[in-house]
Amino acid sequence: MSVNVNEVAVRTAAGSEQRLGDYKGQVLLIVNVASRCGFTKQYEALQALQDTYSSKGLKVMGFPCNDFGGQEPGTLDEIKAFCSSTYGVNFEIFEKVHAMGNTTEPYTTLKQVEPAGDVAWNFEKFLIGKTGNVLARFKSNVEPSSSEIIKAIERALND
């Protein structure tokens, strides 16, 4: 099943509504993030992807989530400060979301991507193509710097 996110509305860190379709023409990498997770070090590689590919049209988007082991308990300001000071993150961090159970967007839509179902853990990644179609879903243990993700991003940017 093809999943398109153009009509999905999310909340920015400032609390305003943002449609993912407003990013049409860009490639998006949507990640549910947490500051106290074993995968938290992936922030560094996510920022490297943003640094390397943003000029070509990639936008990394972080959605803090406290659904998994209470590993993102902080306020949005605390989360952003941690990401910036610890990992030099300057990609956009959105309002906290729920990625499992009673989900919030973008995960209500993204959990329809095969293999369908709730996000399993922090740092699961979804690659969205320029037209808003979800191209790939990567589990938490797939590093942002892996050849699998880099090849998928480069293909999406060249489409």
How does DSSP classify residue 4? B
**CA–CA gap between residue 81 and residue 103 (Å, rounded):** 25
Could you give the C-alpha distances from 1 to 111, 116, 126, in angstroms and in order? 12, 10, 15
The token pair at 83 is: 């990401």
Catalytic residues: 37
The DSSP H or E segment spanning 30 is: strand 27-33
